[in-house]
Amino acid sequence: MLMKSRKRNYSRRASVVICAFAYIVAFGVAVAVVGLMDGAHPVLAAFAADCAATAAIFVYSLLFDNSSMYDPYWSVAPPVIALYFASESLAEGAISPLQWAAIACVFIWGGRLTWNWLRNWKGLGHEDWRYVDISRKTGRLKWPVSFLGIHLFPTVQVFLGCLSLYPALSAPGAVSVFPGILACAVTLTAIWIEARADRQLLDFTRSNPPSGSIMDRGLWKWSRHPNYFGEVSFWWGLFLFGLSSGKFYWWTLAGPVFITVMFAFVSIPMMDRRMIARRPGYAAHMKKTSALVPLPPKKGA
């Protein structure tokens, strides 16, 4: 037997230390893979390193019997990928202000999202309800499904989203001003929307609302999932940064399109079904409130 399951109630502090160590190991694995692929195209090297780091995190998910070990990967990987794509330009000292802005936006987004995860994380004794549901339905196939669906699939999604950073950051100083400024505006606004929505939801849950209460205040009055809208908009902002290179790379569209489809047709329906089952008035709330894009509530619904 390769490893033994260690599912137990670790303290939150111990859980953070274990998780941080797992990500340090994953980073080391990624660096090693990039070194082994010296001479390969940067996009291919980055993708191989990304998948290898994901496999390293999966080992820790397996070791501690908790797929939520992967949760922060979504926000931790893009800043590293951004720096790798910009490494040559950084070495030459030929990064433009708007390229620095692109890097800064990715770090602001990643840092805030990781912090939001950390402040809400209960530790290794808790696992995301979606993963628990998948485990219950898949039985003995739990870990193969976990690797492919919970670990590798989101990694591929995020990597596709990061493709826009390659044309934006790999060409020293090559930036078209208007698309770059528009990209900054869209990306920073998206980060603000997601941060605001997360903060409003946190305040709502900490207020100990009556059982079955529905969050319909602030941004949540205009959208059932304003945090998802902010997330989707962020990836479209990165696409605009890609356009700032002055060339249209059609394959960079794959990321924002794929992520938008995933949120619209998988994440939102899944969350809505759960909310309907747990909150009696949610079906009526759905009729009057936009699913993703913030819009005025429908009157009389």
* pLDDT per residue rounded down to tens, the chain (301 residues): 344 445 567 899 999 999 999 999 999 999 999 999 999 999 999 999 999 999 999 999 999 999 999 999 999 999 999 999 999 888 777 788 888 999 999 999 999 999 999 999 999 999 998 999 988 999 889 999 999 999 999 999 999 999 999 999 987 766 677 888 999 999 999 999 999 999 999 999 999 999 889 999 999 999 999 999 999 999 999 999 999 888 788 999 999 999 999 999 999 999 999 999 999 999 999 999 999 999 999 876 5
Per DSSP, helices labelled H in 64-176 are: 73-92, 97-120, 129-138, 142-145, 153-162, 165-170
**Phi (first) and psi of residue 172, to 5 degrees:** -55, 120
Q: How far apart (Å, rounded) are the C-alpha atoms in residues 229 and 227? A: 5
pLDDT of residue 5: 45
Neighbours of 189 (CB within 10 A): 14
CB 56 within 8 A of CB 25: yes
Q: How far apart (Å, rounded) are the C-alpha atoms in residues 225 and 215? A: 10
Q: How far apart (Å, rounded) are the C-alpha atoms in residues 127 and 66? A: 6
Q: Could you tell me the pTM of the whole model?
A: 0.93
Domain boundaries, the chain: 12-288
Cα R_g (the chain), whole angstroms: 20
Could you write out the DSSP letters of every residue in 19-30? HHHHHHHHHHHH
Q: Which residues, at least 6 apart from 268, have a Cβ–Cβ distance to it below 8 Å? A: 224, 225, 228, 291, 292
SS3 223: strand
Cα dihedral sign, 106-107-112-117: positive
Q: How far apart (Å, rounded) are the C-alpha atoms in residues 107 and 78? A: 8
Neighbours of 192 (CB within 10 A): 13
